[in-house]
Structure 1
Amino acid sequence: MNVSFNKRDPVYVQVIRHFKEQIATGVFEPGQEIPSRRELANRLKINPNTAQRAYKKMEEAGLITTERNLPSKITRDEHVLKSVRKELIMEAVNDFVYSVRSINVPVDEVLELVKEKYDDKSDGKEVKDD
């Protein structure tokens, strides 16, 4: 488990985001056991209280379930799983739209460029200049 922490957001929020990304991409499957709080803290080199807080928030959001002394697991609730994916997509779209709108690019031009880039089979990191 590899997480690059930024200095901007609280660590527990970044841990939750990492879990959401892993769920959305299928790395974590519904019903899959996840590391214990202590194990997660050791793996990520974070405070155990931070790991506990992240797990508590994920339980409250329905992302994970914990029964008694059994290991925590990724939810099997399809509604929650779909909402995680949609949330991440909407965050990316909102950030993108905000950036593009700030430089006054017409929506038709944006849509064409997005379609071209989306259909591009390369890694998508290089910027094409016409």
Structure 2
Amino acid sequence: MPEEFDASKPIYMQLAERINKRIIRNELKSGEKLPSVREMAVQSGVNPNTVQRTYSELERMGIVETRRGQGTFVTENKEVIKRIRERLKEEMMSEFVRNMKELGFTLDEIIAFLKDRRQKGEGI
């Protein structure tokens, strides 16, 4: 089933972010082979050229490596994966705090809310 994409951001970047998140969640493990360009295109409902651009961008970033005749694999470099995780955390937390501040919440209120949710065992 084709995936949904945000029209305001290039599809190849959205695919790259989705792959990064799967790596962080350990759904894609170090050294694991990614689907072929054609398979990923069919799964995502996008043009194979878009997937190729996604894989090229991920390779440029050191997140995946292409082995001639074998395919594209998730890096085995734990430091690269750690950097991805930290970057995504920073981006998501910054956006969360920015959104909450736009709604008028102070940083102390945000922290109190998170602590309260944690004490209640609500997934935080």
Q: What is the TM-score when the length of structure 2 is the normalising length?
A: 0.89
Does residue 34 of structure 1 match 2:37? no
Match of 2:96 in 1: 96
Q: Which runs of 5+ in 1 are unaligned?
A: 125-130
Distance 2:116 2:123 in 1: 13
Distance 2:119 2:85 in 1: 21
Match of 1:77 in 2: 77
Paired positions, count: 124
1:29-56 Cα offsets, whole Å, 9 max, x none, are 0000110111111121110110110000
| CA shift in 2, pair 1:19/1:120, >3 Å | farther
- Contact 1:16/1:54 (8 A) holds in 2: yes
Q: What is the TM-score when the length of structure 1 is the normalising length?
A: 0.86
Residue 22 of structure 1 and its aligned partner are, at CA, apart by 0.1
Distance 2:56 2:62 in 1: 10
Residue 102 of structure 1 and its aligned partner are, at CA, apart by 2.0
1:62-97 Cα offsets, whole Å, 9 max, x none, are 110112111211001111100111111111111111
Output the aligned Cα RMSD: 1.9
